[in-house]
Amino acid sequence: MPIDIIDFGCGYGYLGMILLPILPTGSTYTGVNISDSLLDEAKSLFKDSEYKTKFIKSDINSFNTEEKYDLAICQAFLRHLPNPKDVLQQMINSVAVGGMVICIEVNREFENAGLYIPEMDYNSTSKTAIMQRL
């Protein structure tokens, strides 16, 4: 049975590229992002694919959809928002009964371990303590 996915803060559609090949035939991917350049890149990456995709330009804070999806996803997105609870509620509202919301929010310090730039103070850019409270 096909799965309809919506990706909040989709960027260039990375999660769609990873998920669509392993999902049932006929599954769809809708990406939402505010960046024209990232959406243009996403459209370019998927233009010759066999998958049904749609990309929506929107400020996630004002985004609403009447359409219901089986799965709402985001990756390393909520931690950048001043109102992650509100956006999480939007994600919940976008799924059908029995649907799922999956947020991938890796610990920033863990990510930093793989990217080291000498003299950079990574702790000043981290919001881990705030996200842990949420």
Higher per-residue pLDDT: 3 or 106: 3
How many structural domains comprise the chain?
A: 1
Question: Which tokens in the block code for residue 27?
Answer: 């599954």
Lowest-confidence segment of 2-6, 28-32, 55-59, 62-66 by average pLDDT: 62-66
pLDDT given at position 109:
60
pLDDT attached to residue 131 = 52
Listing DSSP states for 33-78 in one string gives ES-HHHHHHHHHHHTTSSSEEEEEE--TTT---SS-EEEEEEES-G
CATH of the domain at 51: 3.40.50.150
pLDDT, residue 31, reads 97
Q: Which domain holds residue 16?
A: 4-133
Q: What is the pLDDT of residues 69-123, one digit of tens each?
A: 999 999 888 877 888 889 899 999 999 999 999 998 776 565 555 666 667 665 6
Residue 79's pLDDT is: 76
Lookup: tokens for 118: 């000498």
pLDDT tens figures, 28-56: 999 999 999 999 999 999 999 999 999 99
